[in-house]
Chains A and B, each alone.
Chain A
Amino acid sequence: MSLLRVRFWGTRGSIPVTIAPDAIKRRLVAALTRAVGRGLDTPERIEAFVEQELDFSVRQTFGGNSSCVQLDHGGDEYVLCDLGSGARAFGNHVLATRGGRPGTFHVFMSHTHWDHINGFPFFMPAYIPGNTITIYGCHAWLEEAFRRQHGAPSFPVEFAQLGASVRFIRLEADRPYDLAGFRVTAKRQHHSGDSYGYRFQRDGRTVVYSTDSEHKLDDPAEATAFAEFFRDADLVIFDAQYSLADAVSIKADWGHSSNVVGVELCQLARARHLCMFHHEPTYDDEKIAAVLAETRRFEEITRGDHTVQVSAAWDGMEIEL
């Protein structure tokens, strides 16, 4: 049984962001202040200090690319969820590691809002003859959405000029398919224009990708249905963009969910690992780290006989299953 690796190439919600210039200065001051008197006189000691003693939000960043997640089961073909701006980094990684060999790419689209497709015009494998890209989704307008962002007046390259063979396959929700080395089932989610979550199963392991999904709390049947969709999953990648208070008040019907609902659904489903995803673009690293700490505490104080591991995705993160 091969390892299943989940790699996060883009984890930010709604729009790509970058770390603010003043945040870099703040981090340098914080790190150097911590380093005073520590005798950090070799690169090895400095490296160890940075790794072991600085907080994540000082030494690293959650990143700012929009949604793109890779499921790597060790085969030669690539499997992705969404083509947000993280797809650019993924494509460059493929070129750097694969050389000139043609590749096959399978992409499962949650929906076609801009932040989930805006990496495709910069996805270099799409420009290389010999590559094959299959884009799966449940929306009737799946292909149109991709074609529309290429070409004038939005982009200088027409879709027809792409060198790779690109095809689109429409899936039906609630119907299991055997695709790209996985048993894949899509589920319709509450979002403007609908979005779809995917449950991927292979060799006894299950990953659920459920982003851009608002959970209305007035219907217990809805919670039960999602708990079944998440049932016993090894990993649930979950839209936790808002606080619960925002999600049910000023941002109701904006199509996103919260950390609290993520924990509750994973507890109901007895899922093993909740990975918060689609981070709010106005949040800086300190804020996301604080939300993560609060969410772990929430899981702890509401835990029954089942523990849910809680993490927050960052660009470059890998989870092995």
Chain B
Amino acid sequence: MRVDHTRFADVVVLAPIGRVDHATAEALKAALAPHLARCAQGQDHLVLDLSGVDYISSAGLRVLMLAAKQAKTQGGFLAVAAVQSTVQEILEISKFTLLLRLMPTVREAVAAASPTALAAFDRA
């Protein structure tokens, strides 16, 4: 499980690549952990770009739920963006659409998080 990260002002875009299944869910959790620690009021905002994820299992969904919960508890902003169609169906069937803040594109997620970050995103 590879997770790329790019900073746009106060927004960090994290982009896991590949399958998130029972074998790789913990690796995703570990990759998110340091970023989540800074996802709080007055610190960083997080956008999870799932355009590179073609499958996510229940274990992976649980990692996303815990991340969203931690961000909310810390007063931070976390959105999931650019979900592939199969993963979108998985989110709908599992009812995770009710637990996660979903955005159609990374740009829209960055815009929802921070105008400063959006300006940086558009310049990039």
A residues at B contact (CB < 8 Å): 217-218, 220, 223, 243-246, 248-249, 258-261, 264, 268, 294-295, 297-298, 301-302
B116 at the interface (CB under 8 A from A): no
B58 at the interface (CB under 8 A from A): yes
CA distance A246 to B90 in the complex (A): 15
- Which one, B59, B89, B90, B94, contacts A243 given CB within 8 A? B94
Q: How far is the CB of A252 from chain B (nearest CB, A)?
A: 10
- Which one, A248, A295, A297, contacts B61 given CB within 8 A? A248
Residues of A contacting B30 in the complex (Cβ-Cβ under 8 angstroms): none
A245 touches B59 (CB 8 A): no
The secondary-structure label for the interface of chain A is: helix
B94 touches A260 (CB 8 A): yes
Question: Can you list 13 A-B pairs, Cβ within 8 angstroms, ordered by A?
Answer: A217-B58, A217-B59, A218-B59, A220-B26, A243-B94, A244-B94, A245-B95, A246-B95, A260-B90, A268-B22, A297-B93, A298-B89, A301-B86
Given contacts A218-B62, A220-B59, A248-B61, 13 further A-B contacts (CB under 8 A): A218-B59, A220-B22, A220-B23, A220-B26, A244-B94, A245-B98, A248-B65, A258-B94, A260-B93, A264-B57, A297-B93, A298-B90, A298-B93
B37 at the interface (CB under 8 A from A): no
Q: How far is the CB of B66 from chain A (nearest CB, A)?
A: 9
Q: How far is the CB of B57 from chain A (nearest CB, A)?
A: 6
CA distance A220 to B25 in the complex (A): 9
Report, as a range, how many residues of chain B touch the other chain. Answer: 20 to 34
A301 touches B58 (CB 8 A): no
Instruction: With A220-B22, A264-B57, A302-B90 as known contacts, state yes or no: A243 contacts B95, CB within 8 Å.
Output: yes
Query: B83-99 CB contact bits vs A (8 Å, 1 = yes)?
Result: 00010011011111011
B121 at the interface (CB under 8 A from A): no
The 3 closest A-B pairs by CB, nearest first: A245-B95, A244-B94, A243-B95
Q: How far is the CB of B89 from chain A (nearest CB, A)?
A: 6
Q: How far is the CB of B28 from chain A (nearest CB, A)?
A: 12
Residues of A contacting B92 in the complex (Cβ-Cβ under 8 angstroms): 294
A260 touches B65 (CB 8 A): no
In the complex, the chain B residue whose C-beta lies closest to that of A302 is B55
CA distance A294 to B59 in the complex (A): 19
- Which one, A249, A295, A301, A302, contacts B65 given CB within 8 A? A249
Residues of B contacting A243 in the complex (Cβ-Cβ under 8 angstroms): 94-95
- Which one, A220, A249, A294, contacts B93 given CB within 8 A? A294
Q: How far is the CB of A251 from chain B (nearest CB, A)?
A: 11
CA distance A268 to B21 in the complex (A): 11
Residues of A contacting B96 in the complex (Cβ-Cβ under 8 angstroms): 244-245
B61 touches A244 (CB 8 A): yes
- Most chain B Cβ neighbours within 10 Å, of A264, A294, A302: A302
B55 touches A261 (CB 8 A): no
Q: How far is the CB of B39 from chain A (nearest CB, A)?
A: 19
Q: How far is the CB of B33 from chain A (nearest CB, A)?
A: 14
A244 touches B95 (CB 8 A): yes
- Which one, A244, A249, A295, A297, contacts B58 given CB within 8 A? A244
Task: Tell me the residues in window 71-89 of chain B with beta carbons closer than 8 Å to chain A beta carbons.
Answer: 86, 89
Residues of B contacting A244 in the complex (Cβ-Cβ under 8 angstroms): 58, 61, 94-96
CA distance A246 to B26 in the complex (A): 21
CA distance A260 to B92 in the complex (A): 11
- Which one, B23, B25, B57, B89, contacts A301 given CB within 8 A? B89
A264 touches B58 (CB 8 A): yes
CA distance A75 to B105 in the complex (A): 61
Query: B42-62 CB contact bits vs A (8 Å, 1 = yes)?
Result: 000000000000010111011
- Most chain A Cβ neighbours within 10 Å, of B22, B86, B98: B22
